[in-house]
Amino acid sequence: MTGSAPCTTLGAFYFTEYNGSVMDSVDLQVLRSANEWVAAGRRAVLATVVRTWGSSPRPIGALAAFRDDGTVVGSVSGGCMEDDMILRMRAGELPQERPGTTTYGVSAEEAQRFGLPCGGTLELVLEPLTPASGLGELLARIERHELVMRRLDMKSGRVTIGPANWSDQLAFDGTEFVSVFGPRWRLLIIGAGQLSQYLAQMAQALDYQVTVCDPRVEYADTWSLEGVDLRRGMPDDVVIDMNLDAHSAVVTLTHDPKLDDMALLEALKSPAFYVGAIGSRKNNEARRKRLSDFDLSEEEIERLHAPVGLKLGSKTPPEIAIAILAEMTAIRNGVIMTPFIEPPKATVAGCQVTEP
């Protein structure tokens, strides 16, 4: 049997590495829904994957919450085990006073019944939720971009919440369950043009907290996208003010070197996991030369992704936004990027056609 993989506390609220997969940041909605149910006086149980053996459909740290009427939000198996747990919840068979555990897929028969991959086994911690579970405080800390540790005593059900360190990991020893939650991903976009609209919208769907910076009145005055923070200050000041961390990304989209370079000079010195700039390869070669004239090291300039985005043949603003987010997602998930193979040049009547 293969033991469980370590947890990495660097997520949109946190994510867990398991066989190369990453926990979805949308699990934050599980906590929100569960908190609302408890506040409304409903009985609810929070299920968390704490151990896996062999193949498993969801990684360690995956969440699902079950309400007394069978309503479920989130996923610990992709749907198969949830159906069984819904029936158990309605029948009152899930823990109601103290936390407990359950294991699925131990036998080949169970694996087939619950749709687990061959040999897959999951262990879940099942926690009955009450106002003392501290979900409200946990959510408030997450929204303040704090890194938080939540400890659950399996015998008493007592919960304690406090600050976490980057080295802390999700852990379960049978008597205590420790989970780590961290800041949401943040994206700072320089420029409030059409491409920024598409990029901001798509980034919100990936649970980024999006900020757009543009000191140009003609662009800022026409910006309108709900849930996006618009800053009219100078880009370098906004970058510094945001105190970027390893959960942050910066993308410059104005095509104006005076604005884009101001942001890059500060962003490339920050811990941001991704810094990208739009523009042609030629323009970005000139940009790197300009940046080298300032106090940036060669290593810092090498962090710049420019031209920004994966090479997908993108032409329209939505396609370019997809390319940018695809590259950001790959970098965020630790995927090693390999160069795309250039397709052969098209020819017309035996003559090579130059690509634009």
DSSP 296: -
Q: Which is it for strands 186-190 and 209-213: parallel, antiparallel or unpaired?
A: parallel
pLDDT of residue 24: 43
**Distance of alpha carbon 108 from alpha carbon 340, whole angstroms:** 41
DSSP 310: -
Helix, strand, coil fractions of the chain, as percent rounded to 5: 30, 25, 45
What does the mean pLDDT of the chain come to?
Answer: 83
- Over residues 198-211, the pLDDT tens digits come to 999 999 888 788 99
pLDDT of residue 134: 96
pLDDT score of 221 more than 80: yes
Residue bearing the bigger pLDDT, 107 or 316:
316
pLDDT of residue 23: 35
Neighbours of 281 (CB within 10 A): 8
- Over residues 261-309, the pLDDT tens digits come to 999 999 999 999 999 999 999 999 999 999 999 989 999 999 999 999 9
Per-residue pLDDT, averaged over 333-350, amounts to 59
Q: Please list, in sequence order, all residues whose beta carbon lies within 8 angstroms of the beta carbon of residue 342, skipping any fewer than 6 positions away.
A: none
pLDDT of residue 76: 86
Backbone dihedral region of 78: left (phi > 0), alpha (psi from -120 to 50 degrees) or beta? Answer: left
Sheet containing 63-67: order of strands:
72-74, 63-67, 44-53, 121-129, 100-104
- Over residues 24-79, the pLDDT tens digits come to 456 788 999 999 999 999 999 999 999 887 666 677 888 999 999 999 999 888 66
pLDDT of residue 3: 34
260 and 273 Cβ atoms separated by less than 8 Å: no
pLDDT of residue 172: 95
pTM tops 0.75, yes or no:
no
DSSP 115: T
pLDDT of residue 119: 52
- Over residues 137-184, the pLDDT tens digits come to 999 988 777 889 999 999 999 999 999 876 678 999 999 999 988 766
pLDDT of residue 334: 83
- The verdict on whether omega for the bond into residue 307 sits within 30 degrees of 0, i.e. cis, is yes
Q: Please list, in sequence order, all residues whose beta carbon lies within 8 angstroms of the beta carbon of residue 164, skipping any fewer than 6 positions away.
A: 9, 147, 148, 149, 180, 181, 182
- Give helix 257-267 / helix 235-242 axis angle, nearest 10°: 20
- In the numeric block, which tokens belong to residue 38? 């408890």
- Over residues 114-139, the pLDDT tens digits come to 555 555 688 999 999 999 999 999 99
Q: Please list, in sequence order, all residues whose beta carbon lies within 8 angstroms of the beta carbon of residue 268, skipping any fewer than 6 positions away.
A: 275, 291, 296, 300, 301, 303, 304
Closest CA to 12 of 333, 335, 336: 333
The H or E element that residue 188 is part of is: strand 186-190
**Distance of alpha carbon 148 from alpha carbon 162, whole angstroms:** 6
What letter represents residue 280's amino acid? S
